[in-house]
Chains A and B, each alone.
Chain A
Amino acid sequence: MASPSPQQPSLLLPEAPKRRRLLEILGAASIIVTYVVLVLTQPTDIAAGPGSLAALAALGGFLLGAVLLVVAVLPTLPTSTVVLIPIAMVLNIVLGQFVGSTLVPFYLDAIGTVLVAVLAGPAAGAATGALSSIVWSLFNPTVLPFAAGAALIGWLAGLAARAGVFRRFYLVPFAGFLSGVLGGVVSAPIAAFVFGGTSGLATGAIVSAFRAMGDSLLAAITKQALISDPADKAIVFTVAALLVYALPRRSSFQFPFVRRYRVLAGRAPQGRGTATQA
């Protein structure tokens, strides 16, 4: 059988989407495999110092996964979403930097990410989360390794929006809480193995309390994350929902994702919304 000539493109599946799909799968696989490897091979005796190999695996695996997801997703997004991402990043950084400098065991650094996820879907949310960490790391490099966790929160927020959670306000904090549980569990090994167990004074105090009870470092940080992250994300999802509800309908319904999955309650305004963005 003659092979197709290089000039003849496949009629079944274009080459670029196939490559992007592969990058998406590789990115997600890199994050999942890194997490499983870290949990299974965590250093049992940390008295000799923080484990180097676990830190290298956490840094490399999570960062590679986040970058692959960004490279795969970014070219597929409509322009209306791409221009929204920098705004989300600015909101994340401005609000997160403020809260990070206070003695509150919350981060509130994902309001913009959740906002984009609600308006533009899970892929846009994941790309915003990862990109936000990468740009923020230009001012504070310690947030760079958490890019995969931030991408996960954006993706979960987009899935919740697609499922219609944001049509009923009372469900929003619960979706945030559940996303926070997953996000906290994924981020805990980074805090444990890359940064020696802390990402701030307030969260450090909670980790200390669990360590005083004899928990291992990863167990103490995971428990701290399970206290801080679900409450943090419940607040973040609620604030993002209130901001989306405050937008004029012609602004929120200009996004194809909002119209297609009926993300928000009520009808789309007639005329302008469907005409501006396809």
Chain B
Amino acid sequence: MSRGTLSLERLNPLTSLTGAAAVAVITTAAGQWAFSLAVLGGLLALTLRQARAAAVLRAATAILLPFWAALLLVHGLFFPEGRTVLAELGPATVTREGLLFALDAGLRTGVFVVAFLLFSFTVRVPELLSVLSARGLPPRLGFVVVSALTLLPAAAQRIRRIRAAQEARGLVIGRSLASRLLAARLQAVPLVLSLVHESGERAQALDARGFSGRQPHTSLRTVPDSVPQWAARRVLLVLSLAAVAVRVALALFGGRA
């Protein structure tokens, strides 16, 4: 199967959001490392079918590698509840239970991270916000989220311009802490000043266009949906609730939380 044939970008944003949340909830409720591993494998296979597979995998690796290393450090070497000792390294004790705990928590977090990255890298944010606004979330939420996402690259570019301007005025970033702190101040203050100043102007412009109006807003964007997607969302919701219910029942009657 070639890349793009199972593209999540074609889905209604609510369907992919429900899918990511359901995968995270069901995997957490199951609490089995083998199940988490199978789900993670499925998610990776799905990721490889996406046009933005490389970006998802890069982001997931950058998040998960340090996280897994920290889990190994915390539970692999120090796990006072462990009973089966595999090795003793000075004050550290490697136990089977500690390694299994790290494996369980690591795979569960892996599923959580890959599921939501797959959602966020394939969703069209304006469509998602339009759908959520239609379901009762404040329209201002849309402005805040889209504005932040637009500002992020603009702010990064502005930091580069400010640094270039300060370097042209003689700023040299040395290796000492004092030099770095001074350089940070010389870059942060102009950045914050310009952003806050612009926000004041933007507020006036938005108010002039009725941003603060309390009337219901009309959306010009129509997001395609379909009956199978509607049904899929319901099924995912029911499966998630069922998984949580089984876990609660097991905790109440089977003693396993």
Interface residues of A (CB under 8 A from B): 16, 41, 43, 45-56, 59, 70-71, 74-75, 77-80, 82-87, 89-91, 93-94, 115, 131, 134-135, 137-142, 144, 194-201, 203-205, 207-208, 211-212, 214-215, 242-243, 246-248, 251, 254, 276-277
Q: List 22 A-B contacts (CB under 8 A).
A: A47-B101, A49-B104, A56-B244, A59-B28, A74-B141, A79-B211, A80-B203, A85-B144, A89-B148, A90-B155, A90-B195, A94-B156, A135-B148, A142-B67, A196-B75, A196-B104, A201-B69, A204-B74, A208-B77, A247-B192, A248-B193, A251-B200
Partner of B113, one of A47, A85, A141, A276: A141
Counting CB contacts under 8 A, is B70 at the interface?
Answer: yes
Q: Interface size on B (CB < 8 Å)?
A: 81
Partner of B109, one of A90, A196, A208, A246: A196
Complex-state Cα separation, A205 to B76, whole angstroms: 12
Looking at B7-15, B39-47, B78-86, B220-228, the stretch in contact with chain A turns out to be B78-86
Are A211 and B78 in touch, CB under 8 angstroms? yes
Q: In the assembled complex, which residues on chain A have CB atoms less than 8 Å from the CB atom of B193?
A: 246-248, 251
Q: In the assembled complex, which residues on chain B have CB atoms less than 8 Å from the CB atom of A49?
A: 31, 33, 100-101, 104
Scoring B residues 226 to 257 as 1 if CB is less than 8 Å from chain A, else 0, what string do you get? 00000000000000000010011001000011
Are B31 and A50 in touch, CB under 8 angstroms? yes
Partner of B189, one of A86, A142, A243: A243
Are A138 and B120 in touch, CB under 8 angstroms? yes
**Minimum-distance CB pairs A-B, first 5:** A196-B105, A204-B70, A141-B116, A52-B31, A86-B147
A-B Cβ contacts below 8 A, count: 209
Are B203 and A55 in touch, CB under 8 angstroms? no
Complex-state Cα separation, A41 to B255, whole angstroms: 12
Counting CB contacts under 8 A, is B145 at the interface?
Answer: yes
Interface of B is mostly: helix
Complex-state Cα separation, A82 to B256, whole angstroms: 45
Whole-angstrom distance between the Cβ of A34 and the nearest chain B Cβ: 15
Whole-angstrom distance between the Cβ of B92 and the nearest chain A Cβ: 7
Are A74 and B144 in touch, CB under 8 angstroms? yes
Scoring B residues 21 to 36 as 1 if CB is less than 8 Å from chain A, else 0, what string do you get? 0001100111101000
Complex-state Cα separation, A53 to B246, whole angstroms: 10
Are B138 and A115 in touch, CB under 8 angstroms? no
Nearest to B251 among chain A residues (CB) is A53
Instruction: List which B74-117 residues lie within 8 A (CB) of chain A.
Output: 74-75, 77-83, 91-92, 97, 100-102, 104-106, 108-109, 112-113, 115-117
Partner of B74, one of A51, A194, A211: A211
Whole-angstrom distance between the Cβ of A256 and the nearest chain B Cβ: 12
Are A55 and B28 in touch, CB under 8 angstroms? yes
Q: In the assembled complex, which residues on chain B have CB atoms less than 8 Å from the CB atom of A138?
A: 120, 125, 149
- 9 new A-B contacts at CB < 8 Å, known A74-B140, A196-B75, A204-B73: A47-B83, A50-B101, A53-B251, A71-B138, A137-B120, A141-B112, A142-B112, A198-B74, A200-B67
